[in-house]
Amino acid sequence: MKTCSLSVRPTVGKYLTLSRFAAILRIGAVVAAILPAVAFGQNNARNTGAADGRSAVNSRIGTLRGLPNNAANAQRGANAAPAPSARPNTPAAARQAAAVRQPQAAGTQPGAADVKQQESCLMTSSRKAGTVDVVEVTLEGSGDVLQTNQAGQYERAGIEFVAGFKYEELFETYSPTGAIRSLRQYEQAGMKRKFGSTITRPLLDRSRQNVASVFDGKKITLYSPAGPMKAEQYALLSEAPFNTTLLDRLLPNRQVKLGDVWQIPTDVLAAMLGVDAVQNNTVNLTLTSIVDNFAEVELYQQGGKDAKGNDLPSTMECASEGASIGLDLNGKFQFDLAARRITWFGLRISERRSESVATPGLECNVTLKINVAPLEKPEKLTEDVVAKFKGGPTPEQLRLYYNAQKGPWKFQHSRRWKMIEDSKNVTALCYVDRGEAVAQCNILSNGKIDLSTQPTLNSYKDEIQKGLGDRFAEFKKESAYRTDDGLTILYVVADGAYESIPFRWVYYLVTDEDGNQATIMFEIRGDLLERYDESGAEIVESFKLTPRVAATVSPSTTDGQDGAKEKGEAKDGAELDEPPLPQTDKTAAARRETVKPAAKPIAKTASQQTAKPK
């Protein structure tokens, strides 16, 4: 019988373990879904070397891999973060440094006979419920991913990416200061990314081209009325900064004179950047010119002064999923005075992100360009299409789904679960709350077994207790049942502790009628149980085994594979058209170097030192 078990991961704290190359589908402020293939590929390369002669017992109970010590991880990430670069600290210096510029419309060049200059203008948006635009967005960048290797050293790996989007956006509800709901139909949505010699091109499925963008006053939520989206496709749409649903929040909503300065409210800025919090809002906007019917506004950063009158850094400090982020921004936007709408926005972003439980470290530079063309009436978002959005979002529409990308299974999961590993026989997700790893889900393939060797519930409990060793304290729950889909499931809950930290382990041994078997194991911090929302049950309830013979190939996905489609999904080859992406700058091949971190080297796990953890 074919068996498998998980490879042990290096420690990132005193008590707990997690994958060093923790891949995420959401990396926050800037980079749109560029890292999953990178981190997954590195994890998979390590797992490929594992021996095949692994025990069925370990496979069925799930080789234990714990969660990170968040305090230690945060300190390590802080030590890894490079010092922020100096930024212009005055409006004049910012304007001189700004490199993202929009060409003026014909007839508005300085010196033209028909140029009409003004000293002030009213900068309020004409947007209201029912307004509709055609939007084109390009996102281009390059930089380095910083991650810790097994020797406790940081590896630097170069990455390049470029993304393009085109969609029609109808504002169903709109308030200049409150909640907003816009509906979109994507015509183009895709990305090209390069890591080393590997190039991937994720595209949005045509079945998910209708998307709602909802701002509740604090954050933006995206969902498709067609149902759950793949995690990577959700990240593709959600991670580009300055979501156009909020673009009009750049306006001051008052009469403005040349040289006047205003700020974006901090909570709105955090939503625009896709971060959890902004510590110091250093972003300023100033009106720099009014020519004919167009006003030009400069976006720059200024740090202010401390209590002693000393200049403060202009770099904006943010936090997202436990990572500390430093951002430097400069850009411009153009405001059409006749239409009273922002029609163009350009921005350059420099990001430095520390390593955290949910994200690798990152240094990158990104250029964002947004073109907005107002329409008199919708062309694609007809009444029939808009009707599909009624009643949402439902809990199912807010989930993500895994569809046999690599592992031979399908399931849906909450957006709080972040994919950290995906290989032929292993899928692992981490449940993150307020920057801390609360739980981890490990799904392991046991291959196809002889049904006569299927353990009883009691013998399975014996395997679990033996595997936990002196960490085991007591069994809390147990049952054996059969689902409507023909799956036989052994369910066991055990409590215990590891080095004085309480844990709860939840096991599901899942076997189909043909003998295909998998283990789903949840490892939950016992001291953080009140912060765990039991969303792991959604994974189990939606879980289906998909033997590899049923898998098909879809070259547009991140890992180059895609399984048989769920009902309602796009058929193979039915992704949206790839957008015409701008060419990235010619750079040297992805570089790799190793540097020692300031933090202490990461200790080995107990399971690396001995056959079993203490």
What whole-number distance in Å separates Cα of residue 357 and Cα of residue 77? 9
CATH number of the domain at 178, please.
2.30.230
Residue 574 lies in a domain: no
* Number of Cβ atoms within 10 Å of the Cβ of 253: 14
Q: Which whole-number Å values give the CA distances from 53 to 2, 58, 428, 446, in the listed order? A: 9, 11, 21, 12
Q: Tell me, what's the pLDDT at 506? A: 97
Residue 588 lies in a domain: no
Q: Tell me, what's the pLDDT at 416? A: 92
Q: Identify whether residues 42 and 128 lie together within a single domain.
A: no
Q: How many domains in the chain?
A: 2
Q: Identify whether residues 492 and 371 lie together within a single domain.
A: no
Average pLDDT score over residue span 585-613:
31
String of DSSP letters for 322-363 = TEEEEEEEEEEEEEETTTTEEEEEEEEEEEEE---SS--EEE
Q: Identify whether residues 64 and 85 lie together within a single domain.
A: no
Indicate the SS3 state at residue 583.
Answer: coil
Q: Tell me, what's the pLDDT at 440? A: 95
Range of the domain at 59: 36-68+401-550
The answer to whether 154 and 290 are in contact (CB under 8 A) is no
Q: pLDDT tens, 18-68? A: 332 233 222 223 333 334 333 333 333 333 333 333 334 444 555 433 344
Residue 150 lies in a domain: yes
Q: Identify whether residues 60 and 83 lie together within a single domain.
A: no
Q: Identify whether residues 411 and 348 lie together within a single domain.
A: no
Q: Identify whether residues 63 and 160 lie together within a single domain.
A: no
Q: Which of 500, 530, 550 is the last residue of a domain?
A: 550
Closest residue by Cα to residue 354 from 28, 10, 13: 28
Q: Which whole-number Å values give the CA distances from 291 to 103, 120, 334, 511, 564, in the listed order? A: 13, 11, 11, 70, 56
Q: Which residue carries 């031979």 as its tokens?
A: 408
Residue 609 lies in a domain: no
Q: pLDDT tens, 229-285? A: 998 899 999 888 999 999 999 999 999 999 999 999 999 999 999 999 999 999 999
Q: Identify whether residues 383 and 406 lie together within a single domain.
A: no
Apex 364 CA angle, 361 and 366, nearest 5? 140
CATH number of the domain at 447, please.
3.40.1000.10
Pairing of the two strands 488-498 and 501-511: antiparallel
Q: Identify whether residues 206 and 243 lie together within a single domain.
A: yes
- The answer to whether the bond into 36 is cis (omega within 30° of 0) is no
Q: Identify whether residues 286 and 410 lie together within a single domain.
A: no
Q: Identify whether residues 187 and 225 lie together within a single domain.
A: yes
Length of the chain: 614
Q: Identify whether residues 373 and 504 lie together within a single domain.
A: no
pLDDT at 79 over 60: no
Residue 144 lies in a domain: yes
